[in-house]
Chains A and B, each alone.
Chain A
């Protein structure tokens, strides 16, 4: 691993200041993506600004009809939170399926979303729950946050501070995972909120996470799993790699989405 300077901070403001001051600096959250990529030499920041000491970022805040998850909450924090399990069960269920127990003890929601890996789980929950990404400067709707493979709407030097999720009792996440890496080959998040159904797909899209709008429309008309039967996904828009072919992924999406809807209706 290349040399770098390690910086500890105790406030969001201090982190942002350093991030702007030091050229080629990165923030360090759980390190479960960043440290392995640095070990492989794929990334070599001049400085790491550790967010681990900012206690406010580790909070789960309960609002009247929403829950704000601090950026540094670990996957284990989210999976085990009783309020999240009660009000947004799909989110807790999703967090409990990320990686393995040790990764869940360190990896954070902020890191996962900032990274926007096309096979990561959280982006599907953000889209499927119509979440709002909070940063040190603004609030960004999930619909305009995830821009492509590993690309987000974050500006240089902008820090995610948390994610606001509105309550959604009817939500679930089904994942067909790569047995070695545990990332999603296809992950389907389905939620039925005040404005209707939302279906978000991760792991499968050539441009990363996406909403399957045709499925949403179909379910808004007829909320039975059969409503998805006639739908076809475009194979050209699917990822096609050593893990799975495009047509296989397209098929899996439909199977998982039907199962998810059925599970929610039970």
Chain B
């Protein structure tokens, strides 16, 4: 067991964890932040994407103990309060989800994409950047559309 201090969605969490605990399990089981999903066992689907110190990572391929002293943001922490984040709103408006399983990871990746590439995201960049996120039902058309719209809204 190791004692860790992690800043999760703006809150300081100070807890003992078993060393082998994956970040995704720490978030879902210990912290009940179940918006972060697990969709595969091979680090390929991206349903588990969260931000660590502002960068998108796959939380199924990182240990909770590796987050000591770091800032972790999950889909639950994207906004404070009830209002949706611009990217969430764009996914809603563009019908960029059906079952919604991949959506939290898609949105966290999309927000990181805007951080790195700015607001004027073109389709090629979005598609290249979405390689680590798999959607098994919507098809990517509306997801790409939503990210374009969301990226512009975020800059407003």
A residues adjacent to B (C-beta < 8 A): 1-6, 8, 28, 31-32, 35-36, 39-40, 48, 50, 52, 76, 99-103, 105-106, 180-182
Contacts and interface: CB of A to CB of B under 8 A. Distances in A.
A102 B49 contact: yes
Contact of B66 (A2, A50, A105): A50
Contacts of B20: 1-4
Interface residues of B, number: 29
B56 A181 contact: no
Nearest to A8: B68
Contact of A106 (B46, B62, B113): B62
B37 to A, nearest CB: 14
B13 interface: no
A39 B132 contact: no
A52 B132 contact: no
A35 B61 contact: yes
Contacts of A102: 46, 49, 56-58, 109, 132
Contacts of B57: 102, 105-106
Given A6-B19, A32-B43, A181-B44, A101 B112 contact: yes
Given A3-B18, A39-B60, A102-B56, 17 more contacts: A1-B22, A2-B20, A4-B19, A6-B63, A6-B65, A31-B63, A36-B42, A39-B22, A50-B65, A52-B66, A99-B132, A100-B132, A100-B133, A101-B56, A101-B109, A102-B49, A102-B57
B2 interface: yes
Interface of B: 2, 18-20, 22, 41-44, 46, 49, 55-58, 60-63, 65-66, 68, 109, 112-113, 129, 131-133
A106 B131 contact: no
A31 B58 CA distance: 11
A100 B61 contact: no
A6 B2 contact: yes
B40 to A, nearest CB: 10
B62 A31 contact: yes
B139 to A, nearest CB: 16
A218 to B, nearest CB: 33
B136 to A, nearest CB: 13
* Overall SS of chain B's interface: mixed
B130 to A, nearest CB: 8
Contacts of B42: 36
Nearest to A99: B132
Contacts of B132: 99-103
A31 B61 contact: yes
A3 B61 contact: no
Contacts of A99: 131-132
A101 B57 CA distance: 8
A76 to B, nearest CB: 8
Contacts of A103: 43, 58, 132
B126 to A, nearest CB: 11
Nearest to B108: A102
Given A99-B132, A102-B58, A3 B49 contact: no
26 contacts: A1-B22, A2-B20, A3-B18, A3-B19, A4-B20, A6-B2, A32-B43, A32-B61, A35-B43, A36-B42, A39-B41, A40-B41, A48-B19, A50-B65, A52-B66, A101-B112, A101-B113, A102-B46, A102-B57, A103-B58, A105-B55, A105-B56, A106-B57, A106-B58, A106-B61, A181-B44
Most buried by A among B2, B18, B22, B55: B55
In order of increasing CB-CB distance, the 3 nearest A-B pairs are A100-B132, A6-B19, A100-B131
B129 A180 contact: no
A4 B21 CA distance: 10
A210 B121 CA distance: 38
Contacts of B133: 100
Given A3-B18, A6-B63, A101-B129, A36 B43 contact: yes
Contacts of A3: 18-20
